[in-house]
Amino acid sequence: MTGALLRKIAWHWRHDEKRELWIGWWTLVVFYNLYGLLFFAVARTQPPPQPSLGHAEIVEWFAARHHGLIYGYAVVFIVGGATAIMNATLAYTMRRMSVSRAFAYSYLVIYALATLPGMLIMGVACTVGAMRPDRDPELMSWLYDFAFLSFEGTMGVFLIGSLVWMLAVLLDENRVFPKWFAYLNLCNALTEVVVAPAWIFKSGAFAWDGTIAWWINMVVFVTYTAVFLTLLRRLILREDFGTGPLPDLAR
Amino acid sequence: MRRADGETLLLWTLPVVAAIWLAAFLLFPGFVSPMSPTMSAEEVAAFYRDPENLPRIRYSMILFNWFAVGLIPILALLVLQIRRMAHRTPIFSYALIACAAGGPTVFLMANLFWLTAAFRPTRDPQMTLLFNDLAWMTFSSQVGFLIAQSVILALAIHLDRQERPVFARWVAHFNLVVAALLLPAAFAGAALTGPFAWDGLLTFWVRNIAIGLWIVVMAVVLRRAIERQRAEDEAVAA
């Protein structure tokens, strides 16, 4: 079984014209699964805790997941750079469209920056919090706020990034993605708008753990990710390495 | 005579920038024998308050603040070499551009924490300890973009299937070895002593020597690739 799989991979590595695209696609699939596992099951920083915890409760929060934070985020730090190849692959979808290369380049640079607030800053803050459980509780509370606000509250990169992709899909004449995907990009962009009150409210629907700022955001993001992974796979299957409209998926 | 395109000039900025990095590294009193994570808040505060140390901390970190982004032109030259490879898509060159944006930003964050700690060393020692921890942890554990850079180069070189590939196969293998040597540093938060601690053998010495070696080796092979490209271009023009 393993042997057959390895032989299959070796064949694609040697002969598949689309191997660069498949490397990108598999990196996306493996990364998003690992990312979910690390944040939800290992570090247990998602779903997020309440912003209103007192200092003593925050110290307890760090203590309760000490190893999870340290080892979970260590793995995040190792694989974090994989986002470069993922964003390069998504930027390629825009390069394949009939639109200007400016769209692909904008998306690439915006999402390269997104890696910092999207996970690395939170990882450093959580690691520093976990490494010294006896740190002044007031500073532990600052690390806690810094971690969750940087993660939940950095909106612009995802907002503008999604809008760039939306515009590219709408303008494209090469049939790279169906037009309805543009509106899903708009949905993802709008969740970044409604998350803004997380900077103001410490409890309720608008707080960083609230129904609006977190739950709706997460449902839309997971749907969006699952959809673009499916569409990207179909795109790779349809890819003819030309510059004109893509053919339909062969039956 | 071909027109000067400035690539040689960019390449020769590297020895200058590398000399400045080395000087800044030696100037910072916390690097040559790396500061221990076991130091208490009072000891860390005393390190920043020491009149011998304080100017050296500031000047070395100001140098790093100026020159940390100095590697980006070299990465840009590597991007151009990837574009000459026999690939079907620009995915690898795009990915290296993404790494070039991410890596120095992470280092600059560490730099800001060090400089902020040194700005008011009389602050509450707990605050100085926090800035010092944030600086060291960001500096030590953030190996993701460096690992990605090496893996992307290795993949790109492996898939460059033409008669005379841009880089030799061994450069790909070398990059994978470097990526493996950088990996343990991600666990810097796991221990205050031993090889994984931020002053430990793996996290400090192996990681930093691997980065230094990568810069030297990649600069040499990059120079050769650019020279070969020139010779080929001139042969075509003649």
Locate all alpha helices (DSSP H) within chain B, ordered by sequence: 7-27, 41-49, 53-67, 72-83, 91-119, 125-141, 144-158, 169-182, 207-237
Preferred mutation among B44, B85, B91 to probe A, highest tally of A CBs within 10 A: B91
pLDDT of residue B102: 84
**DSSP structure string for B23-84:** HHHHHSTTTTTTPPTT--HHHHHHHHH-TTHHHHHHHHHHHHHHHGGGGHHHHHHHHHHHHT
Residue A200 lies in a domain: yes
- In a domain, residue A8? The reply is no
Is the N-terminal amide bond of A117 cis, ω within 30° of 0? no
Q: What is the C-alpha separation between A91 and A87, in angstroms, rounded?
A: 6
| Mean residue pLDDT across chain A | 94
The number of residues in chain A equals 251
On chain B, the residues whose CB falls within 8 A of the CB of A18 are: 88
**B20 and B61 in contact (C-beta within 8 Å)?**
no
pLDDT tens digits, one per residue of B18-54 = 999 999 999 999 999 999 999 999 999 999 999 999 9
Structure tokens at A119: 């996970």
Residue in A78, A84, A128 nearest the CB of B95: A84
What six digits make up the tokens of B28? 């910072």
Query: How many residue contacts between A and B have a Cβ separation below 8 Å?
Result: 150
- Predicted pLDDT at A251: 67
Residue A134 has pLDDT above 60, yes or no: yes
Q: What is the Cα–Cα distance from A168 to A170, expressed in whole angstroms?
A: 5
Number of H helices, E strands in chain A: 11, 0
Task: Provide ipTM, 2 decimals.
Answer: 0.94
Classify residue A103: in a domain, yes or no: yes
Three-state SS for A210?
A: coil
Cβ pair B91:A20 closer than 8 A: yes
Residue-number span of the structural domain to which A42 is assigned? 18-238
- Residues of chain A contacting residue B133, judged by C-beta atoms under 8 Å apart: 128, 131-132
Helical segments of A80-136, H only: 83-95, 101-115, 121-131
What are the chain B neighbours of A19 within 8 Å (beta carbons)? 159
Q: How many CB atoms lie within 10 A of CB B45?
A: 22
Q: pLDDT at residue A208 above 60?
A: yes
Residue A182 has pLDDT above 80, yes or no: yes
Instruction: Assess if residue A251 is contained within a domain.
Output: no
Domain spans, chain B: 7-237
**B36 token code pair:** 């221990």
CA–CA gap between residue A224 and residue A232 (Å, rounded): 12
Give the pLDDT confidence of A143-160 residue by residue, as tens digits: 999 999 999 888 889 999
Q: Give me the percent of chain A exceeding a pLDDT of 70.
A: 99
Residue A167 phi/psi, 5-degree rounding, is -60, -45
pLDDT attached to residue A79: 95
- A1: Cα within 13 Å, side-chain hemisphere: 0
pLDDT at B2: 62
Give B-chain residues touching A66 at CB under 8 angstroms.
none
- The total of structural domains in chain A comes to 1
Backbone angles phi, psi at A98, to 5 degrees: -80, 0
Distance set, CA B24 to CA B32, B67, B70, B109, B200 (Å) = 11, 10, 13, 17, 20
Q: What is the pLDDT of residue A49?
A: 94
Taking every pair of Cα atoms in chain B, the longest distance, rounded to a whole number of angstroms, is 70
How does residue B13 score in pLDDT terms, banded at 50, 70 and 90? very high
Distance, CA of B89 to CA of A24 (rounded, Å): 11
pLDDT tens column, A30-72 = 999 999 999 999 999 999 999 999 999 999 999 999 999 999 9
Q: What is the pLDDT of residues A104-129, one digit of tens each?
A: 999 999 999 888 888 999 999 999 99
- What confidence score (pLDDT) does residue B60 get? 97
CA nearest to A168, candidates A104, A89, A113: A104
Residue A5 lies in a domain: no
In chain B, the residue whose alpha carbon lies closest to the alpha carbon of A95 is: B90
Nearest residue on chain A to B109, alpha-carbon basis: A121
Pair of tokens at residue A212: 């609006």
Residue A118 lies in a domain: yes
For B230, the 3-state DSSP assignment is helix
Question: Which tokens hold the place of A71?
Answer: 């080892």
Peptide bond into B195 cis (omega under 30): no
Position A204, amino acid: G
**Chain B contacts of A108, Cβ < 8 Å?**
94, 97-98
Q: Tell me the three state secondary structure of residue A70.
A: helix
Decide if A194 is inside a domain.
yes
Question: Look-up: residue for tokens 């795009």?
Answer: B94
Helix/strand/coil for A195? coil
Alpha carbon A228 to its chain's center: 12
Taking the CA of residue B216 and the nearest CA in chain A, the distance in Å comes to 22
Using the structure block, give the residue that is written with the tokens 């200058």. Answer: B16
Establish if B206 touches chain A: CB-CB under 8 angstroms: no
Asked if the model's pLDDT at residue B133 lies above 70, the reply is: yes
Q: Which two tokens stand for residue B64?
A: 């790093």
pLDDT in tens, B158-199: 999 999 999 999 999 999 999 999 999 999 999 999 999 999
Q: What's the confidence (pLDDT) of residue A224?
A: 96
Indicate the residue type of B121: P
Q: Which of B88, B188, B189 sits opposite A241 (nearest CB)?
A: B88
Residue B227 binned pLDDT confidence (cut-offs 50, 70, 90)? very high
- What's the burial of A4, exposed, middle or buried (CB within 10 Å: 0-12/13-18/19+)? exposed
Inform me whether the pLDDT recorded for B112 exceeds 80: yes
Are B81 and B165 in contact by the 8 Å Cβ rule? The answer is no
pLDDT value, residue A74: 97
B75 vs A: CB within 8 A: no
Cβ contact A232:A246 at 8 Å: no
Name every chain B residue with its beta carbon within 8 A of the beta carbon of A20: 87-89, 91-92, 159
Mean local confidence (pLDDT), A194-214? 91
